Structure 1
Amino acid sequence: MREAKALKDEVSDFTSSDSRKGELKGTLYVVATPIGNLDDLSPRAARTLASVDVVAAEDTRHSGRLLSHLGIQKRMVALHDHNEKDRAAGILTELQAGRDVALISDAGTPLISDPGYVLVREARAAGHRVSPIPGPCALVAALSVAGLPTDRFLYVGFLPAKRSGRRASLEVLSSEVATLVFYESPHRIMESVRDIADVLGSDREIVLGREITKTFETFYSGSVADVLAELERDPHGNRGEFVVMVRGAAAQAGSEEAATMDVDRMLRVLLAELPVKKVAKMASELTGLSKNELYQRALALKDG
Protein backbone atom coordinates (compact mmCIF):
# COMPACT_ATOMS: atom_id res chain seq x y z
CA MET A 1 0.00 0.00 0.00
CA ARG A 2 2.81 2.42 0.92
CA GLU A 3 4.57 1.72 -2.39
CA ALA A 4 1.36 2.35 -4.33
CA LYS A 5 0.74 5.62 -2.49
CA ALA A 6 4.32 6.78 -3.13
CA LEU A 7 3.98 5.98 -6.83
CA LYS A 8 0.63 7.80 -6.98
CA ASP A 9 2.15 10.88 -5.30
CA GLU A 10 5.09 10.87 -7.71
CA VAL A 11 2.85 10.56 -10.76
CA SER A 12 0.64 13.33 -9.41
CA ASP A 13 3.69 15.55 -8.93
CA PHE A 14 4.65 15.28 -12.58
CA THR A 15 1.16 15.32 -14.09
CA SER A 16 0.44 18.52 -12.21
CA SER A 17 3.51 20.25 -13.66
CA ASP A 18 1.46 21.77 -16.49
CA SER A 19 -0.95 23.37 -14.04
CA ARG A 20 2.02 24.88 -12.17
CA LYS A 21 3.09 26.70 -15.33
CA GLY A 22 0.33 29.19 -14.68
CA GLU A 23 1.62 29.97 -11.21
CA LEU A 24 3.80 33.00 -10.66
CA LYS A 25 6.84 31.12 -9.39
CA GLY A 26 8.68 28.10 -10.74
CA THR A 27 10.43 25.36 -8.77
CA LEU A 28 14.18 24.91 -8.39
CA TYR A 29 15.01 21.18 -8.41
CA VAL A 30 18.38 20.18 -6.94
CA VAL A 31 19.13 17.00 -8.87
CA ALA A 32 21.80 14.43 -7.97
CA THR A 33 23.55 12.89 -10.98
CA PRO A 34 25.86 9.85 -11.29
CA ILE A 35 29.38 10.02 -9.86
CA GLY A 36 30.58 7.56 -12.48
CA ASN A 37 28.12 4.86 -13.47
CA LEU A 38 25.28 6.32 -15.55
CA ASP A 39 22.95 3.52 -14.42
CA ASP A 40 22.89 5.17 -10.99
CA LEU A 41 20.70 8.03 -12.25
CA SER A 42 17.26 7.54 -10.74
CA PRO A 43 14.14 7.39 -12.93
CA ARG A 44 12.77 10.36 -10.98
CA ALA A 45 15.90 12.39 -11.73
CA ALA A 46 15.62 11.56 -15.43
CA ARG A 47 11.94 12.58 -15.49
CA THR A 48 12.73 15.81 -13.67
CA LEU A 49 15.45 16.74 -16.15
CA ALA A 50 13.03 16.01 -18.98
CA SER A 51 10.24 18.13 -17.45
CA VAL A 52 12.03 21.34 -16.45
CA ASP A 53 12.41 24.39 -18.67
CA VAL A 54 16.06 25.13 -17.91
CA VAL A 55 19.06 23.12 -16.65
CA ALA A 56 21.69 25.02 -14.66
CA ALA A 57 24.90 22.99 -14.91
CA GLU A 58 28.39 23.35 -13.48
CA ASP A 59 29.84 22.48 -16.92
CA THR A 60 27.35 22.59 -19.79
CA ARG A 61 29.56 20.51 -22.07
CA HIS A 62 29.96 17.75 -19.48
CA SER A 63 26.28 17.75 -18.49
CA GLY A 64 25.25 18.06 -22.12
CA ARG A 65 26.66 14.58 -22.70
CA LEU A 66 24.50 13.24 -19.86
CA LEU A 67 21.37 14.83 -21.31
CA SER A 68 22.27 13.52 -24.77
CA HIS A 69 22.63 10.03 -23.30
CA LEU A 70 19.12 10.39 -21.89
CA GLY A 71 17.75 11.72 -25.17
CA ILE A 72 16.90 15.06 -23.55
CA GLN A 73 17.30 18.46 -25.20
CA LYS A 74 17.06 21.43 -22.86
CA ARG A 75 18.15 25.02 -22.66
CA MET A 76 21.24 25.06 -20.44
CA VAL A 77 23.04 27.78 -18.50
CA ALA A 78 26.45 27.48 -16.85
CA LEU A 79 26.56 27.98 -13.09
CA HIS A 80 29.93 27.40 -11.45
CA ASP A 81 32.16 28.76 -8.68
CA HIS A 82 33.33 31.73 -10.72
CA ASN A 83 29.97 33.05 -11.94
CA GLU A 84 27.37 31.84 -9.43
CA LYS A 85 26.70 35.21 -7.78
CA ASP A 86 26.14 36.89 -11.16
CA ARG A 87 24.24 34.00 -12.77
CA ALA A 88 21.89 33.43 -9.81
CA ALA A 89 19.94 36.61 -10.60
CA GLY A 90 19.12 35.38 -14.11
CA ILE A 91 17.96 32.01 -12.82
CA LEU A 92 15.76 33.71 -10.23
CA THR A 93 14.18 35.65 -13.10
CA GLU A 94 13.40 32.33 -14.80
CA LEU A 95 11.78 31.04 -11.61
CA GLN A 96 9.83 34.26 -11.11
CA ALA A 97 8.42 33.85 -14.63
CA GLY A 98 7.05 30.44 -13.62
CA ARG A 99 9.71 28.34 -15.33
CA ASP A 100 11.10 25.29 -13.53
CA VAL A 101 14.89 24.93 -13.26
CA ALA A 102 17.05 21.89 -12.50
CA LEU A 103 20.40 22.48 -10.77
CA ILE A 104 23.03 19.80 -11.44
CA SER A 105 26.77 19.53 -10.86
CA ASP A 106 29.38 17.60 -12.82
CA ALA A 107 28.82 14.55 -10.60
CA GLY A 108 26.93 13.66 -7.45
CA THR A 109 24.74 15.87 -5.29
CA PRO A 110 24.97 19.64 -5.87
CA LEU A 111 26.30 21.84 -3.03
CA ILE A 112 28.42 18.98 -1.60
CA SER A 113 31.77 20.62 -2.44
CA ASP A 114 30.04 21.84 -5.60
CA PRO A 115 28.37 25.14 -6.60
CA GLY A 116 24.76 25.98 -5.76
CA TYR A 117 24.76 27.43 -2.25
CA VAL A 118 24.19 31.01 -3.38
CA LEU A 119 21.41 30.07 -5.79
CA VAL A 120 19.57 27.82 -3.34
CA ARG A 121 19.77 30.38 -0.55
CA GLU A 122 18.53 33.22 -2.75
CA ALA A 123 15.77 31.08 -4.26
CA ARG A 124 14.48 30.15 -0.82
CA ALA A 125 14.70 33.75 0.36
CA ALA A 126 12.65 34.82 -2.65
CA GLY A 127 9.92 32.34 -1.75
CA HIS A 128 10.52 29.80 -4.50
CA ARG A 129 9.99 26.12 -3.90
CA VAL A 130 13.35 24.28 -3.73
CA SER A 131 12.97 20.53 -4.04
CA PRO A 132 15.71 17.87 -3.69
CA ILE A 133 15.88 14.96 -6.12
CA PRO A 134 18.22 12.70 -4.13
CA GLY A 135 20.71 10.29 -5.55
CA PRO A 136 24.45 9.56 -5.71
CA CYS A 137 26.88 11.26 -3.33
CA ALA A 138 30.53 10.18 -3.20
CA LEU A 139 31.02 10.66 0.54
CA VAL A 140 27.90 8.64 1.46
CA ALA A 141 28.79 5.87 -1.01
CA ALA A 142 32.32 5.68 0.39
CA LEU A 143 31.25 5.68 4.04
CA SER A 144 28.73 2.90 3.40
CA VAL A 145 31.52 0.43 2.52
CA ALA A 146 34.45 1.77 4.56
CA GLY A 147 33.87 -0.24 7.73
CA LEU A 148 34.50 2.85 9.86
CA PRO A 149 32.10 4.26 12.49
CA THR A 150 29.32 6.26 10.81
CA ASP A 151 27.19 7.14 13.84
CA ARG A 152 29.12 10.41 13.80
CA PHE A 153 31.27 11.75 10.99
CA LEU A 154 32.70 15.14 10.03
CA TYR A 155 32.77 16.04 6.35
CA VAL A 156 35.62 18.48 5.79
CA GLY A 157 35.57 18.73 1.99
CA PHE A 158 38.91 19.46 0.34
CA LEU A 159 41.90 20.12 2.58
CA PRO A 160 43.92 23.28 1.76
CA ALA A 161 46.16 22.92 -1.28
CA LYS A 162 49.24 24.34 0.44
CA ARG A 163 51.12 22.06 2.82
CA SER A 164 51.22 24.55 5.69
CA GLY A 165 47.45 25.14 5.57
CA ARG A 166 46.74 21.43 5.16
CA ARG A 167 48.83 20.50 8.20
CA ALA A 168 47.29 23.31 10.27
CA SER A 169 43.80 22.02 9.42
CA LEU A 170 44.79 18.48 10.38
CA GLU A 171 46.22 19.74 13.69
CA VAL A 172 42.83 21.29 14.48
CA LEU A 173 41.14 17.95 13.72
CA SER A 174 43.67 15.74 15.51
CA SER A 175 41.52 15.22 18.62
CA GLU A 176 38.17 14.95 16.77
CA VAL A 177 36.50 11.64 17.73
CA ALA A 178 34.17 11.53 14.71
CA THR A 179 35.22 9.78 11.51
CA LEU A 180 36.84 12.39 9.25
CA VAL A 181 35.91 12.55 5.55
CA PHE A 182 37.83 14.50 2.92
CA TYR A 183 37.80 14.77 -0.86
CA GLU A 184 41.18 14.84 -2.58
CA SER A 185 42.49 15.25 -6.09
CA PRO A 186 44.89 12.73 -7.69
CA HIS A 187 47.87 15.10 -7.86
CA ARG A 188 47.72 15.83 -4.10
CA ILE A 189 46.70 12.45 -2.69
CA MET A 190 50.23 11.28 -1.82
CA GLU A 191 51.16 14.53 -0.07
CA SER A 192 47.87 14.58 1.84
CA VAL A 193 48.26 11.03 3.11
CA ARG A 194 51.85 11.78 4.16
CA ASP A 195 50.62 14.80 6.11
CA ILE A 196 47.88 12.69 7.72
CA ALA A 197 50.56 10.23 8.81
CA ASP A 198 52.74 13.00 10.27
CA VAL A 199 49.97 14.93 12.03
CA LEU A 200 47.37 12.31 12.99
CA GLY A 201 49.76 9.37 13.33
CA SER A 202 50.93 6.66 10.95
CA ASP A 203 48.99 4.02 12.91
CA ARG A 204 45.60 5.79 12.55
CA GLU A 205 43.09 3.70 10.55
CA ILE A 206 42.31 5.09 7.10
CA VAL A 207 40.22 4.06 4.08
CA LEU A 208 40.59 5.57 0.61
CA GLY A 209 37.95 5.20 -2.09
CA ARG A 210 39.19 5.80 -5.64
CA GLU A 211 37.04 6.10 -8.78
CA ILE A 212 33.91 5.03 -6.89
CA THR A 213 31.26 3.34 -9.12
CA LYS A 214 33.62 3.50 -12.11
CA THR A 215 35.38 0.67 -13.93
CA PHE A 216 38.57 0.92 -11.86
CA GLU A 217 36.91 1.43 -8.48
CA THR A 218 39.46 0.65 -5.74
CA PHE A 219 39.46 0.82 -1.94
CA TYR A 220 42.61 0.93 0.18
CA SER A 221 42.31 0.31 3.93
CA GLY A 222 44.55 -0.21 6.93
CA SER A 223 46.90 1.99 8.92
CA VAL A 224 47.96 5.25 7.30
CA ALA A 225 51.49 3.86 6.90
CA ASP A 226 50.24 0.68 5.19
CA VAL A 227 47.86 2.54 2.86
CA LEU A 228 50.57 5.03 1.90
CA ALA A 229 52.92 2.16 1.03
CA GLU A 230 50.14 0.51 -1.03
CA LEU A 231 49.49 3.75 -2.91
CA GLU A 232 53.18 4.10 -3.71
CA ARG A 233 53.30 0.54 -5.07
CA ASP A 234 50.15 0.91 -7.17
CA PRO A 235 50.91 2.41 -10.62
CA HIS A 236 47.35 3.84 -10.57
CA GLY A 237 47.63 5.09 -6.97
CA ASN A 238 47.67 8.74 -8.01
CA ARG A 239 44.91 8.59 -10.62
CA GLY A 240 41.22 9.38 -10.26
CA GLU A 241 39.21 11.22 -7.63
CA PHE A 242 39.53 10.14 -3.99
CA VAL A 243 37.37 10.05 -0.88
CA VAL A 244 39.63 9.91 2.19
CA MET A 245 38.15 8.58 5.44
CA VAL A 246 40.11 8.57 8.72
CA ARG A 247 39.01 6.97 11.97
CA GLY A 248 38.48 9.57 14.68
CA ALA A 249 40.70 9.95 17.71
CA ALA A 250 40.06 7.73 20.71
CA ALA A 251 37.62 9.41 23.11
CA GLN A 252 39.24 10.29 26.40
CA ALA A 253 37.59 11.49 29.56
CA GLY A 254 39.44 14.69 30.47
CA SER A 255 39.09 17.49 32.94
CA GLU A 256 37.74 20.91 32.07
CA GLU A 257 41.30 22.20 32.32
CA ALA A 258 42.49 19.68 29.71
CA ALA A 259 39.64 20.64 27.39
CA THR A 260 40.62 24.30 27.72
CA MET A 261 44.22 23.45 26.88
CA ASP A 262 43.06 21.58 23.74
CA VAL A 263 41.08 24.62 22.55
CA ASP A 264 44.05 26.91 23.22
CA ARG A 265 46.28 24.54 21.25
CA MET A 266 43.83 24.67 18.34
CA LEU A 267 43.77 28.47 18.47
CA ARG A 268 47.56 28.68 18.47
CA VAL A 269 47.79 26.42 15.41
CA LEU A 270 45.20 28.45 13.52
CA LEU A 271 46.74 31.78 14.54
CA ALA A 272 49.94 30.75 12.81
CA GLU A 273 48.05 30.74 9.48
CA LEU A 274 44.95 32.95 9.81
CA PRO A 275 43.80 36.32 11.22
CA VAL A 276 42.08 36.38 14.60
CA LYS A 277 38.56 36.89 13.21
CA LYS A 278 38.78 33.86 10.91
CA VAL A 279 40.36 31.79 13.69
CA ALA A 280 37.43 32.53 16.00
CA LYS A 281 34.87 31.67 13.31
CA MET A 282 36.55 28.36 12.37
CA ALA A 283 37.14 27.33 15.99
CA SER A 284 33.51 28.11 16.84
CA GLU A 285 32.28 25.88 14.01
CA LEU A 286 34.57 23.04 15.12
CA THR A 287 33.91 23.22 18.87
CA GLY A 288 30.43 24.72 19.20
CA LEU A 289 31.80 27.34 21.62
CA SER A 290 30.91 31.02 21.47
CA LYS A 291 32.65 32.86 18.63
CA ASN A 292 32.98 35.99 20.79
CA GLU A 293 34.57 34.03 23.63
CA LEU A 294 36.99 32.34 21.23
CA TYR A 295 37.82 35.70 19.65
CA GLN A 296 38.83 37.09 23.04
CA ARG A 297 40.88 33.98 23.85
CA ALA A 298 42.61 34.11 20.48
CA LEU A 299 43.42 37.80 21.00
CA ALA A 300 44.90 37.01 24.41
CA LEU A 301 47.01 34.17 23.00
CA LYS A 302 48.24 36.37 20.15
CA ASP A 303 49.12 39.27 22.48
CA GLY A 304 50.75 36.86 24.92
Structure 2
Amino acid sequence: MSLAGHGRFGYVPITHRPDVRWPGDKRLAVYIGLNLEHFAFGEGLGAELAPGGPQPDVLNYAWRDYGNRVGAWRMLELLDNLGMPTTVLANSAMYKYAPALMEAFRARGDEIAGHGRTNSERQSTMSEDEERAMIAEATGILSAAEGVAPSGWLSPWIAESSVTPDLLVEAGYRYTLNWCMDDQPIWMTTRAGPLLSVPYPQEVNDIPAIVARKESGSDFADMIIDTFDEMLEQSEGQSLVMGIALHPYIVGQPFRLRHLRRALAHIADNRENIWLTRAGEIAEHWTKAVPFGSAALSV
Protein backbone atom coordinates (compact mmCIF):
# COMPACT_ATOMS: atom_id res chain seq x y z
CA MET A 1 0.00 0.00 0.00
CA SER A 2 1.32 3.45 -0.92
CA LEU A 3 0.07 6.37 1.14
CA ALA A 4 -0.48 9.79 -0.34
CA GLY A 5 2.24 12.27 0.62
CA HIS A 6 2.91 15.98 0.38
CA GLY A 7 6.38 15.80 -1.19
CA ARG A 8 7.49 18.98 0.57
CA PHE A 9 10.21 17.52 2.83
CA GLY A 10 11.76 14.19 3.74
CA TYR A 11 12.11 12.38 7.05
CA VAL A 12 15.23 13.15 9.07
CA PRO A 13 15.02 12.34 12.82
CA ILE A 14 15.84 15.09 15.29
CA THR A 15 18.88 13.05 16.40
CA HIS A 16 20.47 13.16 12.92
CA ARG A 17 20.75 16.90 12.26
CA PRO A 18 23.67 19.30 11.74
CA ASP A 19 24.94 21.04 14.87
CA VAL A 20 23.70 24.63 14.64
CA ARG A 21 24.17 27.28 17.32
CA TRP A 22 22.00 30.34 17.80
CA PRO A 23 23.62 33.77 18.27
CA GLY A 24 25.67 34.04 21.45
CA ASP A 25 26.26 30.27 21.31
CA LYS A 26 22.74 29.75 22.69
CA ARG A 27 20.87 26.49 22.20
CA LEU A 28 17.21 27.44 22.69
CA ALA A 29 15.51 30.13 20.61
CA VAL A 30 12.22 31.41 22.04
CA TYR A 31 9.72 33.64 20.27
CA ILE A 32 6.15 34.81 20.82
CA GLY A 33 3.67 34.70 17.95
CA LEU A 34 1.00 37.29 18.79
CA ASN A 35 -2.08 37.01 16.59
CA LEU A 36 -3.85 40.29 15.84
CA GLU A 37 -7.08 39.42 14.04
CA HIS A 38 -10.21 41.18 12.84
CA PHE A 39 -13.46 39.43 12.00
CA ALA A 40 -16.48 40.19 9.85
CA PHE A 41 -19.69 41.02 11.69
CA GLY A 42 -22.59 38.68 11.06
CA GLU A 43 -20.79 36.23 8.75
CA GLY A 44 -17.74 34.07 8.31
CA LEU A 45 -15.55 32.06 10.68
CA GLY A 46 -14.46 32.85 14.22
CA ALA A 47 -13.54 31.16 17.49
CA GLU A 48 -16.43 30.88 19.94
CA LEU A 49 -16.59 31.52 23.66
CA ALA A 50 -19.99 29.82 23.69
CA PRO A 51 -22.02 28.06 20.98
CA GLY A 52 -23.15 30.77 18.62
CA GLY A 53 -26.75 31.42 17.66
CA PRO A 54 -28.14 32.81 14.40
CA GLN A 55 -26.17 35.66 12.85
CA PRO A 56 -25.43 38.30 13.86
CA ASP A 57 -23.67 36.42 16.67
CA VAL A 58 -23.07 39.45 18.88
CA LEU A 59 -21.73 37.49 21.86
CA ASN A 60 -18.81 35.85 20.06
CA TYR A 61 -18.06 38.81 17.78
CA ALA A 62 -17.81 41.17 20.77
CA TRP A 63 -15.72 38.64 22.75
CA ARG A 64 -13.18 38.50 19.93
CA ASP A 65 -13.22 42.28 19.54
CA TYR A 66 -12.21 42.65 23.20
CA GLY A 67 -8.75 41.47 22.15
CA ASN A 68 -8.15 44.46 19.89
CA ARG A 69 -9.80 47.05 22.13
CA VAL A 70 -8.35 45.95 25.49
CA GLY A 71 -6.49 42.65 25.60
CA ALA A 72 -3.74 43.48 23.10
CA TRP A 73 -2.97 46.76 24.88
CA ARG A 74 -2.60 44.95 28.21
CA MET A 75 -0.33 42.40 26.53
CA LEU A 76 1.74 45.16 24.93
CA GLU A 77 2.29 46.66 28.37
CA LEU A 78 3.28 43.23 29.71
CA LEU A 79 5.79 42.68 26.89
CA ASP A 80 7.23 46.14 27.45
CA ASN A 81 7.63 45.53 31.17
CA LEU A 82 9.44 42.24 30.56
CA GLY A 83 11.51 43.57 27.67
CA MET A 84 10.28 40.82 25.35
CA PRO A 85 10.10 41.13 21.55
CA THR A 86 7.31 39.53 19.53
CA THR A 87 6.34 38.48 16.04
CA VAL A 88 2.96 40.02 15.27
CA LEU A 89 0.83 37.80 13.04
CA ALA A 90 -1.44 40.40 11.51
CA ASN A 91 -4.61 40.15 9.49
CA SER A 92 -4.30 42.92 6.92
CA ALA A 93 -7.79 44.10 7.95
CA MET A 94 -6.23 45.28 11.21
CA TYR A 95 -4.62 48.27 9.50
CA LYS A 96 -7.99 49.79 8.66
CA TYR A 97 -9.81 48.63 11.78
CA ALA A 98 -7.23 49.31 14.52
CA PRO A 99 -4.39 51.40 13.08
CA ALA A 100 -3.33 52.68 16.50
CA LEU A 101 -2.71 49.12 17.67
CA MET A 102 -0.56 48.32 14.64
CA GLU A 103 1.35 51.56 15.15
CA ALA A 104 2.03 50.65 18.79
CA PHE A 105 3.68 47.36 17.84
CA ARG A 106 5.55 49.02 14.98
CA ALA A 107 6.95 51.52 17.47
CA ARG A 108 8.34 48.62 19.53
CA GLY A 109 10.29 47.39 16.51
CA ASP A 110 8.40 44.12 16.41
CA GLU A 111 8.29 41.92 13.33
CA ILE A 112 5.01 42.02 11.40
CA ALA A 113 4.29 38.74 9.58
CA GLY A 114 1.47 37.99 7.15
CA HIS A 115 -1.69 36.35 8.51
CA GLY A 116 -4.12 36.70 5.63
CA ARG A 117 -6.82 39.33 5.29
CA THR A 118 -9.09 38.16 8.11
CA ASN A 119 -9.67 35.04 10.18
CA SER A 120 -13.26 35.13 8.98
CA GLU A 121 -12.02 33.15 5.95
CA ARG A 122 -9.69 30.25 5.24
CA GLN A 123 -7.58 29.98 2.11
CA SER A 124 -7.98 26.21 1.77
CA THR A 125 -11.46 26.76 0.30
CA MET A 126 -10.24 29.21 -2.37
CA SER A 127 -9.34 28.51 -5.97
CA GLU A 128 -5.68 28.99 -6.85
CA ASP A 129 -6.40 32.37 -8.45
CA GLU A 130 -8.46 33.48 -5.46
CA GLU A 131 -5.76 32.40 -3.03
CA ARG A 132 -3.04 34.14 -5.04
CA ALA A 133 -5.09 37.35 -5.06
CA MET A 134 -5.74 37.11 -1.29
CA ILE A 135 -2.03 36.67 -0.52
CA ALA A 136 -1.17 39.59 -2.82
CA GLU A 137 -3.78 41.86 -1.22
CA ALA A 138 -2.71 41.08 2.35
CA THR A 139 0.99 41.36 1.48
CA GLY A 140 0.50 44.68 -0.29
CA ILE A 141 -1.25 46.24 2.70
CA LEU A 142 1.42 45.08 5.16
CA SER A 143 4.24 46.20 2.85
CA ALA A 144 2.78 49.66 2.35
CA ALA A 145 2.17 50.18 6.05
CA GLU A 146 5.48 48.83 7.32
CA GLY A 147 7.74 50.00 4.51
CA VAL A 148 9.07 46.47 4.04
CA ALA A 149 7.49 43.28 2.74
CA PRO A 150 6.75 40.60 5.35
CA SER A 151 9.09 37.61 5.18
CA GLY A 152 6.87 35.15 7.08
CA TRP A 153 3.32 33.87 6.76
CA LEU A 154 0.80 32.11 8.99
CA SER A 155 -2.42 31.11 7.26
CA PRO A 156 -5.69 31.97 8.98
CA TRP A 157 -6.75 28.80 10.81
CA ILE A 158 -3.46 27.17 9.64
CA ALA A 159 -5.42 26.29 6.50
CA GLU A 160 -3.55 25.43 3.31
CA SER A 161 -4.53 24.40 -0.18
CA SER A 162 -2.32 21.99 -2.10
CA VAL A 163 -0.45 24.96 -3.62
CA THR A 164 -0.15 27.34 -0.66
CA PRO A 165 3.63 26.88 -0.17
CA ASP A 166 4.16 27.45 -3.91
CA LEU A 167 2.11 30.65 -3.86
CA LEU A 168 3.91 31.95 -0.79
CA VAL A 169 7.34 31.64 -2.42
CA GLU A 170 5.99 33.19 -5.62
CA ALA A 171 4.75 36.12 -3.51
CA GLY A 172 8.21 36.62 -1.99
CA TYR A 173 7.82 34.87 1.37
CA ARG A 174 10.87 33.18 2.86
CA TYR A 175 9.33 31.25 5.74
CA THR A 176 6.02 29.74 6.84
CA LEU A 177 4.64 29.02 10.32
CA ASN A 178 1.92 26.65 9.12
CA TRP A 179 3.63 23.32 9.84
CA CYS A 180 4.05 22.13 13.45
CA MET A 181 5.97 18.88 12.81
CA ASP A 182 9.36 19.75 14.34
CA ASP A 183 11.38 21.62 16.95
CA GLN A 184 13.87 22.91 14.38
CA PRO A 185 13.37 24.84 11.13
CA ILE A 186 12.88 22.52 8.14
CA TRP A 187 13.41 23.28 4.47
CA MET A 188 10.42 22.65 2.20
CA THR A 189 10.40 22.37 -1.58
CA THR A 190 7.99 24.29 -3.80
CA ARG A 191 7.64 24.79 -7.54
CA ALA A 192 9.16 28.25 -7.10
CA GLY A 193 12.09 27.36 -4.84
CA PRO A 194 12.73 26.58 -1.16
CA LEU A 195 10.55 27.71 1.74
CA LEU A 196 11.66 27.44 5.37
CA SER A 197 9.22 26.04 7.91
CA VAL A 198 9.78 27.68 11.31
CA PRO A 199 8.20 25.78 14.23
CA TYR A 200 4.89 27.29 15.35
CA PRO A 201 3.13 25.52 18.23
CA GLN A 202 -0.25 23.87 18.24
CA GLU A 203 0.14 22.70 21.84
CA VAL A 204 1.57 25.85 23.48
CA ASN A 205 -1.20 27.76 21.71
CA ASP A 206 -4.12 29.30 23.57
CA ILE A 207 -6.78 28.39 20.99
CA PRO A 208 -6.28 24.58 21.11
CA ALA A 209 -5.49 24.66 24.83
CA ILE A 210 -8.15 27.02 26.15
CA VAL A 211 -10.88 27.21 23.50
CA ALA A 212 -10.77 23.59 22.33
CA ARG A 213 -9.60 21.66 25.41
CA LYS A 214 -11.12 24.09 27.94
CA GLU A 215 -7.93 24.31 30.01
CA SER A 216 -7.62 27.13 32.54
CA GLY A 217 -5.34 30.14 32.37
CA SER A 218 -3.27 28.57 35.13
CA ASP A 219 -3.00 25.30 33.20
CA PHE A 220 -1.88 27.16 30.08
CA ALA A 221 0.77 29.10 32.02
CA ASP A 222 2.05 25.86 33.53
CA MET A 223 2.18 24.39 30.03
CA ILE A 224 4.39 27.27 28.87
CA ILE A 225 6.71 26.92 31.87
CA ASP A 226 6.95 23.13 31.64
CA THR A 227 7.64 23.26 27.90
CA PHE A 228 10.30 25.91 28.40
CA ASP A 229 12.06 24.07 31.22
CA GLU A 230 12.02 20.76 29.36
CA MET A 231 13.17 22.24 26.05
CA LEU A 232 15.95 24.17 27.79
CA GLU A 233 17.28 20.84 29.07
CA GLN A 234 16.77 19.12 25.71
CA SER A 235 18.59 21.92 23.91
CA GLU A 236 21.83 21.08 25.70
CA GLY A 237 22.34 18.48 22.98
CA GLN A 238 20.97 20.37 19.97
CA SER A 239 19.59 23.79 19.16
CA LEU A 240 15.79 24.02 19.30
CA VAL A 241 12.97 26.51 18.71
CA MET A 242 10.15 27.16 21.17
CA GLY A 243 7.21 29.22 19.98
CA ILE A 244 4.35 30.55 22.10
CA ALA A 245 1.13 31.29 20.20
CA LEU A 246 -1.14 33.89 21.78
CA HIS A 247 -4.44 35.63 20.97
CA PRO A 248 -5.34 38.81 22.91
CA TYR A 249 -9.05 38.01 23.08
CA ILE A 250 -8.14 34.82 24.97
CA VAL A 251 -5.05 35.39 27.14
CA GLY A 252 -5.65 39.14 27.25
CA GLN A 253 -8.61 38.49 29.56
CA PRO A 254 -7.61 39.72 33.06
CA PHE A 255 -7.83 36.39 34.87
CA ARG A 256 -5.70 34.68 32.21
CA LEU A 257 -3.30 37.58 31.76
CA ARG A 258 -2.22 37.28 35.38
CA HIS A 259 -1.12 33.68 34.78
CA LEU A 260 0.47 34.53 31.43
CA ARG A 261 2.55 37.18 33.21
CA ARG A 262 3.85 34.48 35.55
CA ALA A 263 4.86 32.24 32.65
CA LEU A 264 6.53 34.95 30.56
CA ALA A 265 8.36 36.32 33.61
CA HIS A 266 9.82 32.84 34.14
CA ILE A 267 11.19 32.90 30.60
CA ALA A 268 12.44 36.47 30.93
CA ASP A 269 14.27 35.54 34.12
CA ASN A 270 16.19 32.97 32.06
CA ARG A 271 17.01 35.29 29.16
CA GLU A 272 20.76 34.87 29.68
CA ASN A 273 20.40 31.17 28.85
CA ILE A 274 18.32 31.55 25.66
CA TRP A 275 17.98 33.54 22.46
CA LEU A 276 14.82 35.59 23.03
CA THR A 277 13.95 36.68 19.53
CA ARG A 278 11.43 36.84 16.68
CA ALA A 279 10.43 34.22 14.12
CA GLY A 280 11.95 36.16 11.23
CA GLU A 281 15.33 36.33 12.95
CA ILE A 282 15.22 32.59 13.54
CA ALA A 283 14.53 32.05 9.83
CA GLU A 284 17.31 34.42 8.80
CA HIS A 285 19.90 32.79 11.07
CA TRP A 286 18.96 29.27 10.01
CA THR A 287 19.02 30.17 6.33
CA LYS A 288 22.62 31.35 6.69
CA ALA A 289 23.71 28.45 8.90
CA VAL A 290 21.99 25.69 6.92
CA PRO A 291 21.34 26.86 3.35
CA PHE A 292 18.82 24.85 1.37
CA GLY A 293 20.42 21.75 -0.14
CA SER A 294 23.56 21.96 2.00
CA ALA A 295 22.59 19.46 4.69
CA ALA A 296 20.41 16.50 5.49
CA LEU A 297 17.56 18.80 6.50
CA SER A 298 16.65 19.45 2.87
CA VAL A 299 14.75 16.95 0.76
> If the TM-score is normalised by the length of the shorter chain, which range does it land in?
under 0.3
Larger RCO, structures 1/2 (Cα 8 Å, 6+ apart): 2
Choose 1 or 2 for highest CA Rg.
1
Normalised by the length of structure 1, the TM-score is: 0.25
TM-score, normalization by structure 2:
0.25
User: Hey, which of these two has a bigger chunk of helix by percent?
Assistant: 1
